[in-house]
Amino acid sequence: MNIVLNNLEKYCYKLFYEDFEITKFEDWVYSNKELEDIMNKDDYIDLISLDFKSRHIKSEIEKVVEKYIDYGKFEKKLILTLLYRALKSKNDLPDILMKFYYMYCHGYIFFEDLGLGYGLTCEVPPSKYTADTWYELNEEEKDEIIDTFYPKITVDIKRAIDWIENDKIVLLGTQNELEHWEFLDNRNVEEKKSNIWVEVSKDKKWWQFWNK
């Protein structure tokens, strides 16, 4: 994962996506002279003049710096980080898959398999279980569900990584009028086909399957 961020983008990414302490961000702003080269004079003065103790400081910072940030790179870094974590950590997998489900619902339809398929199965456990949510399941039930995903999910995660790293999916970091996240889809017809859904009737109903 090689995403080049300038120093302003690096620290803003930490602040917006990684819960970087605002006091550390403030110290960096005051001590970093490079900002005067990255930002125009008025924006720089606006940034150093902010009240960093404000409850709304993150949104105030974003208003000042947004013209200097490529949010598409932020989205790419965020999603690739989640995908690699999902590939390496079985413990983190359910929460990440549920994140992908919500991303699917908010415009990232390339998460049809990882989000709508695997993620929704975690979000709403199959009817054979009495629990309504993932967090109400016991550990044995959770393991049982996750085990049904393997080994196929590994292929699906790697496929999504390939799409994003090789710009078959280009994340724009923008939202449309419906507040759905936008992206460019450069995948071919075969790449767009689902790996875990199959059409079973003429009325276009789709059924999920794991062990096909």
Prediction pTM value: 0.88
For the segment 27-40, what is each residue's pLDDT rounded down to a tens digit? 999 999 899 999 99
Query: Are residues 78 and 155 both part of a single domain?
Result: yes
Is residue 2 included in any domain, yes or no?
Answer: no
Query: Are residues 76 and 57 both part of a single domain?
Result: no
Domain boundary among 15, 36, 69: 69
- 199, pLDDT greater than 80: no
- 22, pLDDT greater than 80: yes
Q: Is 100 exposed, middle or buried (0-12, 13-18, 19+ CB in 10 A)?
A: buried
Q: Are strands 181-185 and 169-175 parallel, antiparallel or unpaired?
A: antiparallel
Query: Are residues 50 and 126 both part of a single domain?
Result: no
For the segment 174-183, what is each residue's pLDDT rounded down to a tens digit? 999 999 999 9
Q: How far apart are CA 193 and CA 181, in angstroms?
A: 21
What is the per-residue pLDDT for 130?
87
Find all residues with CB under 8 Å of 27, minimum gap 6, and list them.
none
Residue 4's pLDDT band (cuts 50, 70, 90): confident
Find all residues with CB under 8 Å of 44, minimum gap 6, and list them.
35, 36
Query: Are residues 87 and 170 both part of a single domain?
Result: yes
CB count in 10 Å sphere of residue 36: 12
Number of domains forming the structure of the chain: 2
How far out from the chain centre does Cα 25 lie? 23
Is residue 45 included in any domain, yes or no?
Answer: yes
**The domain containing residue 18 runs over which residues?**
7-69
Helix-helix angle 41-48:57-65, to 10 degrees: 170
Is omega for the bond preceding 151 within 30 degrees of 0, making it cis?
yes
Q: Are 46 and 148 in contact (CB under 8 A)?
A: no
Query: Are residues 89 and 65 both part of a single domain?
Result: no
Query: Are residues 33 and 101 both part of a single domain?
Result: no
Query: Are residues 46 and 104 both part of a single domain?
Result: no
Q: How far apart are CA 56 and CA 58, in angstroms?
A: 6
For the segment 107-165, what is each residue's pLDDT rounded down to a tens digit? 999 999 999 999 999 999 999 998 999 999 999 999 999 999 999 999 999 999 999 99
